[in-house]
Amino acid sequence: MAEAKKPFLWVIRKDNHNDEEDAAAVKKLVAAAAMDGAGGMAVEWCDQPRVLSHPSVGCFVTHCGWNSTLESVACGVPVVAAPQYSDQGTNAWLVERMGVGVRAAVRGQDGVLEAEELRRCVDAVMSEATAARAAAWKDEAAAAVADGGGSERSLNEFVRRISTTTD
């Protein structure tokens, strides 16, 4: 992230550290980034929707779990997708298809996202065009969950159909 020359918030959960050596290495990387003028900050937890809804957030580097994907769309934040497991690849595809993000290419079998690729992806999603598409999807998401929106209509139709008995 430091190479992207953008301020960043890095959430590194304690359960993602394999040992004390991992924890020390992460602290060293973050300290170096902060001293390099990139403005890096690392925390063990954050209120993700609250952070994503802050107007200073320019993009979200994420594994593309379903909750993270929905939260980024609902907040209008472009995405750098770095999927690892399960539905994350499909969600990354969806983010690209919607035009609100890019999928980062990872290195071979170990799945490492290299600095140059991350910088390329951050630069790509922080364009005005991507921000405009993300804002448009944010509006669509808000309309869908509003009173009388598509989400409510679909739920009501579902309830109507399962409540109807057939012989």
Can you tell me the mean pLDDT for 23-29? 73
At residue 72, what are phi and psi to the nearest 5 degrees?
-65, -40
- Provide the number of structural domains found in the chain: 1
* Residue 121 within a domain: yes
Q: How many helices (H) and strands (E) does the chain have?
A: 7, 5
We report the CATH number of the domain holding residue 148 as 3.40.50.2000
Domain extent for 89: 47-163
Summarised one tens digit per residue, pLDDT across range 31-87 is 666 666 667 777 778 999 999 999 999 999 999 999 999 999 999 999 999 998 899
Q: Fill in the amino acid letter for 60.
A: F
pLDDT band at residue 17 using 50, 70 and 90 as cut-offs: low
In 5-161, DSSP assigns E strands to 8-11, 40-43, 60-62, 79-81, 101-103
Q: Does any domain span residue 2? A: no
Spatial separation of the C-alpha atoms in residues 150 and 155, rounded to whole Å:
9
What percent of the chain is modeled with pLDDT above 90? 63
Average pLDDT over residues 153-157: 96
In a domain, 90, yes or no: yes
The answer to pTM > 0.85 is no
